[in-house]
Amino acid sequence: MSHPLYTPDRAIVAALKRIDPGLSVDWHEERWAVFHDLPHVGNVDASAAALARETAHDFRRSGQVVPYHACLLAAYSLLQQEKLVCVVMEFDGGYRPLDARIVAHLRRLDWQRRNWWADDYVRVARQQASDATAAQRRATDTIWTDLKRDTTSYVDSHHHSFSSSALRRMEAA
């Protein structure tokens, strides 16, 4: 459950969103934790209620009386833990602030999840660079085409000289 005084670093959250838009950061059990908004099959409330009823029934069968609302809170907690990706902590279990190390760790895990090798990333990076260059070239061409068209229409409407016919020939080429 989120703590009202602790807010995660926006840069870290944005970096996690670049890895997977479903990732989020929240304060969880005195530590920062990364969650994924995995879709729950069916109605979450109905699933939690069914799990709580089953848990309460199991307790009654074993001779213990546990209130339904306690079972329901435990069921919601269990459903929340299903979304837990990792808890940010040092190797010895101590507190660790939210920093770029968790982003690098989750990026490596994402590579493994996608089963990509270094060659795959090089290929994707080259394709992204090629797409960016093509987009920049298209934008530049559009600017020059608009500039030629605007200049030609201005010269045609205001001047009847050699420059107007030269611009028309240049536009035709």
Same-domain status, 115 and 150 = no
User: Tens of pLDDT along 97-122?
Assistant: 888 899 988 888 887 777 767 777 78
167 — pLDDT class (breaks 50, 70, 90): low
* Tokens found for residue 107: 């990026």
Domain assignment present for 3: no
* Tokens found for residue 27: 């304060």
Determine the pLDDT at residue 139: 93
Q: Which 3 state secondary structure label does DSSP give 87?
A: strand
Determine the pLDDT at residue 135: 93
Under 8 Å between Cβ of 34 and 124 = no
Same-domain status, 99 and 139 = no
Tally of residues, the chain: 173
Same-domain status, 126 and 94 = no
Bridge partners of 31, per DSSP, are 28
Same-domain status, 52 and 111 = yes
User: Virtual CA dihedral for 146, 151, 153, 159, nearest 10 degrees?
Assistant: 180
Q: Is this structure's pTM higher than 0.75? A: no
Same-domain status, 93 and 107 = yes
Same-domain status, 94 and 134 = no
- The maximal CA–CA distance of the chain, rounded, in angstroms, is 104
Domain assignment present for 151: yes
Domain assignment present for 1: no
CA neighbours closer than 13 Å in the CB half-sphere of residue 48: 19
Other CB atoms within 10 A of residue 148 CB = 13
Same-domain status, 95 and 136 = no
User: Tens of pLDDT along 19-72?
Assistant: 888 888 888 888 898 888 876 666 778 888 888 899 899 889 999 988 888 988
User: What total of structural domains would you count in the chain?
Assistant: 2
Domain membership of residue 156 as a residue range: 121-172
Domain assignment present for 5: no
